[in-house]
Amino acid sequence: MLASGSPRRRQLLRQAGIEPLVCPVDLAEERLPGEAPQAMAARLAVEKAEAAAQLTDGDIILAADTIVVDGSQILGKPANAGQAGEMLRQLRGRRHQVVTAVCLLDRGTRRRVVATTLTELHMRWLEADEIDRYVASGSPLDKAGAYGIQDEGFEPVDMDLFDGCFTNVMGLPLCAVGWALGQLGWDLAPRLTQACFSYQQHSLPAWTAAA
């Protein structure tokens, strides 16, 4: 059960041969005072999984939360076109981080496994007219940081300087999902990692955030 309405997350799972049932949840994604970015993403992923568990009878629930981090600032989804343009002008030509936390919840045993993945990347310099056209397309409005790394024709990230999990930046690190499922006894890591590496090969983090 995928606790998300994101078409990208569903697409990524399908590419790994997994057809999830979908149970979107709607939670306020606000940062707590003094909360670190990775802690925030992990907390929200857990809250989404627990909320979905109240709405469905799925055996295994997968939830995720993705945030963009620029220094001490966290960038979520833009509220409107104006905010999307501001985010893109803020990030262009600079390095930033994308953090995605995934939470797998076994409803039968109540066991949770959480894995957080961080990717550093460099946004290429975007001209003003590029930003205006991209914002006008509406694509940034449902994406953390107001951009999609996979968006053809826009290509916001300098891939020559990219080193990390591409699917993490898309919103669902398939390698992390495979690891988390393995902690619950589901040996799907090879399939999910292969699908992840079809975008970009990278070293695997040493996930230890099991609960």
Tens digit of pLDDT for each residue in 46-80? 999 999 999 888 799 999 999 999 998 999 889 99
Two structure tokens written together for 105? 């919840």
Amino acid at 179: W
- Residues paired with residue 148 on neighbouring β-strands, in sequence order: none
Q: Which domains does the chain have, with CATH numbers?
A: 7-197 (3.90.950.10)
Terminal-to-terminal C-alpha distance of the chain: 19
Q: What pLDDT is attached to residue 94? A: 92
Q: How far is CA 54 from CA 51, 57, 129, in A?
A: 5, 8, 45
Q: Is residue 211 predicted with pLDDT exceeding 70? A: no
pTM over 0.75: yes
Q: Determine the average pLDDT of the residues in 129-136.
A: 95
Question: What whole-number distance in Å separates Cα of residue 205 and Cα of residue 28?
Answer: 29
28-32, 119-123, 125-129: segment of lowest average pLDDT: 28-32
Instruction: Give catalytic residue positions.
Output: 65
Q: Is residue 210 predicted with pLDDT exceeding 50? A: no
